[in-house]
Structure 1
Amino acid sequence: MTDQENKAPEGTGKKQKERLKDADKQARLAEALRANLRRRKSQARDRKDTGEDDL
């Protein structure tokens, strides 16, 4: 085998890093959406308990 055959294709590491970066971003966005949903549900429950309905 030659050195050329043992090497990974160029750009593979970069693409893998980009995919990991994108996956991390997606995970952060998903967590932010869940936190937002929890906050909105809590606010809706509070409005229901106090009788407010400002929407």
Structure 2
Amino acid sequence: MQRNPPTAAKDKPAPAARKAERLAEALRANLARRKAQKRARSGAAGARDQQD
């Protein structure tokens, strides 16, 4: 059996918060990258359409 010392409750939220922060940051970076790729693709397609 493992007893939780009083400090365990205080220590727990910090790693969880950091994990959530890292996850949110990764999601934001992912979204930005997808947006940039989509913009680049649509820009290239637009350039091709204008040349025809």
How far apart are the structure 2 equivalents of 1:12 and 1:23? Answer: 17
Aligned residues: 48
Give 1:32's aligned amino acid.
Answer: A
Structure with the higher fraction of residues in helix conformation: 2
Q: Deviations over 1:2-45 (max 9, x none)?
A: xxx23436522101100000000100110111111111100000
TM normalised by structure 2 equals: 0.75
Q: Percent identity?
A: 19
Gapped regions of structure 2 (runs ≥ 5)? none
Gapped regions of structure 1 (runs ≥ 5)? none
TM normalised by structure 1 equals: 0.71
